[in-house]
Amino acid sequence: MAALPTGAPLSGGTTDPARDARGSALQVDGISKSFGSVQALSSVSFSVDAGEIVGLLGPNGAGKSTTMRAVLGLIPTDSGEIRLFGKNVGVDPEGTKRLSGYVPEAPALYEFLTGAEYLDFVADMYGLDPTTRAGRIQQFLMGFELAGHENSLISGYSQGMKQKVALIAALAHRPRLLILDEPLNGLDPRSARVTKDLLRNLAAHDGVAVLFSTHVLEIAQAICDRIVILHRGHVLASGTVAALRDRAGLAGRDLEEVFLALTGTGDLKDVVDALSR
């Protein structure tokens, strides 16, 4: 079974250009967004540096997916500014999308295409030449154990297989910024591990910036350099896991306890007792 390459050609070298040329890949300044009477985001600000993995955490409905969609320019914000590598998303949407790879929370693929056809289609969207794309896609298919299934219609794939196709589609054109909305949903343990290690490598060796949302806090704790906690559309806290622990006054505790304490949802005993009756 072929392992997904973690150095060349995906990472492209053994030096550490990310750290050398570290700068802001994504700058979110005071964005707000409302849907009718619902205020989804209120003055949200944070940044992601090149080579950094930032975890976007928050309870359901906190505004994580809205933030990610706004970052990509999928929805316009009411106020504030978003810059990708210095380019304003609102001013140059095509240019900024070209630099990004996106896995939505619930990837909806074209199920009447085969996996290979879909990835070929996405490669055309990003202008990848046929020779490069064939080699790169094949490598990913083998790494995610999809080789042998690529000529089947996606409609026959399991949820995990579809998630793998969505991940490959986001990675194949080697974006400089990855926006991943719960990317490990439905993945088997091996593929989840491959994805986590790959993200670490891409960030460390290629300087790829990663904005990553998950509800699995162990994963966030393991791979994220910094955490941004969103709650009811506001940035509740941000920083390294250690800094968040200090802020919550929970030194030595894991991220789950810190998260529950910061979001005010820590005392769950009464809820569990009530549900158990």
Partner 1 sequence: MELHRVRRLASTLVASQLRAGRSSSDPASFFGRPELIGLIDLALFLGAAGLVQGGVGAASLSRSQVTALTNGLLPFLPLIATAVVLVAGVMFELTTTAKFAASDAANWLPISPGEYLLASVSAIAYTYSPAIAAALGGVLPIVLMGGTLPVYLATAAFSIVALFEGAILVEMVRSATQRASSVTAGRRGHASLLARASVLILVILLLQLAFNPVFLLGIAQRLGTVALATAAVPFFWSTEALTQWVGGNVEAGAVFAIAQLAFVAALAYIAIDFRERSWAPTPIEVQLEAHRYATRNPVLALVGLSAAESALVVKDLKGLVRRREMLPTLVVPIVLVVLVLVEGSALGGIVSVLWVGWVAGFFALLVAGSSIGQERRAIQSLYAFPLSVGSLVRAKATFVLVPSLIVAAALAVVVGLFFGLSAPDVLSVLLLVVAASIVLTFWGLAFAARYSDFQERPRPQFLRPIGMLAATGSGMALLFAILVPGTLALLYPSPLSVPMGLLGAGLTVGIGGLAVYWTRSGFRQLFRSLPF
Enumerate binding residues for partner 1 (CB under 8 A): 35-36, 69, 72-76, 93-95, 97-98, 100, 102, 104, 106, 108-114, 116-117, 120-127, 129-130, 133-134, 137, 150-153, 155-156
Contact 236, 265 (CB under 8 A): no
Q: Minimum CB separation from partner 1 for residue 39, in Å?
A: 14
> Rounded to an integer, what distance in angstroms lies between the CA atom of residue 140 and that of residue 167?
9
Q: Minimum CB separation from partner 1 for residue 116, in Å?
A: 4
The residue among 69 and 226 lying less far from partner 1, judged by its C-beta, is 69
Tokens of 8: 């060349």
Q: Which stretch of DSSP H or E encloses residue 45?
A: strand 38-49
The residue among 13 and 156 lying less far from partner 1, judged by its C-beta, is 156
Q: Minimum CB separation from partner 1 for residue 66, in Å?
A: 10
Listed residue (217, 143, 139) closest to 184, CA to CA: 217
What's the alpha-carbon Rg for the chain, to the nearest Å? 19
Question: What are 212's strand-pairing partners?
Answer: 55, 180
> Rounded to an integer, what distance in angstroms lies between the CA atom of residue 229 and that of residue 270?
24
Enumerate residues 6+ apart whose C-beta is below 8 A from 128: 136, 172, 173
Q: Minimum CB separation from partner 1 for residue 134, in Å?
A: 4
Q: Minimum CB separation from partner 1 for residue 105, in Å?
A: 10
